[in-house]
Structure 1
């Protein structure tokens, strides 16, 4: 088989693996909290949010800015964890295959 044929076969196999991993990542979640657990954010490893929970005790109208900051902090932490997992899983598929945009 020609080297271009081998390359095409390898690329097709890698694409299938990447699609499988993306489906798995969409089902996998991570959780982050802030404010001592007053805010909990669950993110999927495909970069989307699954849920945001706020402890009712943290909902004093005078503390709105604080609650907003806690939500932002927990959201960013959860999304960072999700992105890290996604990068590691996708990196397993693309390692050793040097094509622009697949690293």
Structure 2
């Protein structure tokens, strides 16, 4: 059985590793796309929107609803990518907990 001091050292080490992975993830760029890449949304790994681009063919003043739908699709795609990367990156730590 591990003593409390060793458990604390392991926990501190894991915390530093997790913080490094979180910083790495935050610095990663994720690009979400709508159908046919008509709208793209670029996020950082900490879910900050940094760019939103529209293909000229999608910009139709008579059809704002499609633009809105495509924008939501692109944003949700990027956010889903971030969530999956977060689970993959930080989920690895769950199996290493010393308790």
TM-score strictly above 0.5: yes
Residue in structure 1 matched with residue 50 of structure 2 by the alignment: 50
Shift in Å, 1:74? 0.9
Q: Quick check: 2:10–2:98 contact (8 Å CA) kept in 1?
A: no
Normalised to the residue count of structure 1, the TM-score between the two structures is 0.84
What's the Cα RMSD here?
1.7
Normalised to the residue count of structure 2, the TM-score between the two structures is 0.87
* Partner-residue secondary structure (3-state), 1:50: strand
Structure 1 stretches of 5 or more lacking a match?
none
| C-alpha distance after superposition, 1:73-102 (max 9, x if no partner) | 111111001111011111223323166xxx
Shift in Å, 1:25? 0.5
| C-alpha distance after superposition, 1:19-48 (max 9, x if no partner) | 101110111122221131110112222233
Structure 2 stretches of 5 or more lacking a match?
none
Instruction: Show structure 1 runs of 4+ deviating over 3 A.
Output: none
